[in-house]
Structure 1
């Protein structure tokens, strides 16, 4: 299923706290020179930028939406883990005189149709609860992350060359900088900037960043490094993601067009390398429930769905494949040995695909976003799904 935004966009994220329906947030980053947004039925346009919530109905293969006008271009999204109407956005005004910052918003009531719970294709409002502004210690904020445990009292804001741990008060009205860490503290990073980051869900005191071609783990308590992989890619690291089910394992994507999976305990070389893209890899994302499923997207305009079962949390199990000689509707299966493979390639895009994201409500659904604002929502092929769950 394809949906076209009316603006260019770079970030997509699931509505994590929504457990019943596959929904995704998309944030626009610049005005699109295409048809006016006013031509969209039921959507009022009051801002040059917007946060859009998409709802995917698998049975009808249909997307419904709710639009939330946003004051600035959106650079990163961090939906709340347990509150569907809370979301952080990192944003920056079109003028360079204003520093980038992160704002926590309360979404107005999400309007749905009574009979099917689809979004009503209307416009809502964002109420800003607090703003974390760039400062000398954390300048150029462009990413923000909730504590993976669900604790709304801690967030990490990532700037151009530093990051800060902020405490959030109970009323969600103020963020206080508790500690910060700068790349200037490490001799190997005198000119590099932080291009990607992720909080380790298995160790709440560890935070990983990609700076230049180096992957670095940081202890939020001591501000010391927990691991360092120099030249993790031959060029800049664009994204990283921890395996949600296997501690110490994470995936990276870089400007060299490669996806690499690492064990940070022994990082002399990657435990797996996937070489399917021909240009920058902008996004990598593990499936939360079935971590052998790994998504990657690139400026070669492609999205790849990988089966990396050999380095998953269940590498020694059996995978089953449908017997081509038997009627598929009968569901007869044949056991075979597990193998890694490229499951599918999605070629529907005409621009760089900057982000991919799995649904948190349905483990078989994922969204991909290209810079021209095209959102594709896909379903894992049925035979692959059955090979995993049966």
Structure 2
């Protein structure tokens, strides 16, 4: 099937930061941040034209430093946040800032300009999301359904809630919480839940997952030893409010119900090295993507713990033929979880995977050598889910 062939784009620098342009619901667009110590770093705006199967790109200069994490505003196409490292006084600091891209690039360009002629444009700095008192920033996450005014940054052992004011040119620290305990406690990643009126955030630190209430900045649940080694990433199920997925250095992906944290609901052990990234599909939550430093991307069908464990249910009224109805009754057993596909286009560690915000059947993965691969959910499965 030619249509399912991957499309590959190569950046000239190493890279580990990837995000879809969250506020864009029509065009398929991803943002990729580079990691170069020698040259100015860049953010590549990748537009995918799925009718012609080609990629158009625009490049923005990110002179502040090498990009470790990137996230896009859910409300404004032109605004994004990066976590980057900066060397000052022979010390490396991880900082975070909110930027605006040039107006003409917000909606992407249909024409990919000739590389030699095009000059990279610069980002406009809106505000910094750190003060050195809080330490090194690991990630920034936006309020999912919000107006792009609230962000959370995780810096060392601090959880910081920022209010972006004056059209994002000023960040005011609204509230904060800290990890207490023995040893060097540091956040590694976090996600803001789209449920519960966006009042919950989950964080990973070492082998522990924690839930926080953003109103009181207090801890609401804690999953100790969620993984045997460091937890790398987590994501919320978009349709089931208590479910979240986590992945880590024990090569496992685990699914949790936050109302009962003693055991994971399900565990996947398909990767042979650290799992860096896990993402639920935004529309069909049985589709789960994972990326690992075994250089593979795995698409799993976790249908038994999805919001449609029996497949797409048909109303009785819709079935006119009684015989058809009878055949339908038999198939109402939970469907089996399985690995749909393993993608092996990468030759280096896959540090990021993410779904397009515009097309629920399309996803991108990024490996450290700067290779971005755009793939589709196999067509047979797509029709099986839809029909």
TM-score (norm 2): 0.87
The answer to whether the Cα contact below 8 Å between 2:138 and 2:189 also exists between their aligned partners in 1 is no
CA distance in 2, matches of 1:278, 1:113: 39
Task: Work out whether residues 165 and 179 of structure 1, in 8 Å CA contact, stay in contact via their aligned partners in 2.
Answer: yes
**RMSD of Structure 2 on Structure 1 (CA):** 2.3
Q: Which residue of 2 aligns with 1:261?
A: 255
Q: How does 1:75-94 map to 2 (within 5 A)?
A: 75-94=68-87
Match for residue 198 of structure 1?
191
Shift of 1:94: 4.2
**Helix, strand or coil: the match of 2:23?**
coil
Shift of 1:386: 0.4
2:46 to 45, 54, 57: 54
Is 1:23 the counterpart of 2:29 in the alignment? yes
Classify the secondary structure of the residue corresponding to 1:24. Answer: strand
Q: Deviation at 1:178?
A: 1.9
Shift of 1:167: 1.4
Check if 1:170 corresponds to 2:166.
Answer: yes
- Pairing 1:99-110 to 2, within 5 Å after superposition: 99-110=93-104
CA distances 1:7-57 after superposition (whole Å, capped 9, x unpaired): 11111100112221111000012258xxxxxxxxxxxxxx52001100112
Q: What is the CA–CA distance in structure 1 between the aligned matches of 2:13 and 2:131, rounded to whole Å? A: 26
**Offset at 1:118?**
4.7
Match 1:345 to one of 336, 342, 345: 342
Distance 1:272 1:362, change over 3 A: same
Separation in structure 2 between the aligned mates of residue 202 and residue 119 of structure 1, nearest angstrom: 38
SS in 2 for 1:294: strand
Matched residue, 1:243: 237
Q: Which residue of 1 aligns with 2:3?
A: none
Kept in 1: contact 2:82–2:96 (CA 8 A): yes
Matched-pair contact (CA < 8 Å) for 1:283–1:355: yes
Where structure 1 has 5 or more consecutive residues not aligned to the other structure, the ranges are 33-46, 321-333
Equivalent residues of 1:85, 1:106 under 8 A apart: yes
TM (normalized to structure 1)? 0.87
The answer to whether the 8 Å contact 2:292/2:351 transfers is: yes
1:73 aligned partner: 66
CA contact 1:238–1:282 (8 Å) conserved in 2:
yes
Which residue of structure 2 aligns with residue 323 of structure 1?
Answer: none
Distance 1:341 1:31 in 2: 41
Whether 1:381 and 2:387 are equivalent positions in the alignment is no
Consecutive unaligned residues of structure 2, counting only runs of 5 or more, are 1-6, 315-327
Instruction: Give the number of aligned pairs.
Output: 358
Aligned to 1:288: 282
Q: Describe the superposition over 1:132-190 as per-residue Cα deviations: whole angstroms up to 9, x where unpaired.
A: 22332x22113111111223222111112212111111332111112211112xx3x53
2:322 maps to which residue?
A: none
Match of 1:148 among 141, 144, 152: 144
Among candidates 334, 354, 359, match of residue 356 of structure 2: 359
The alignment partner of 1:387 has SS state of helix
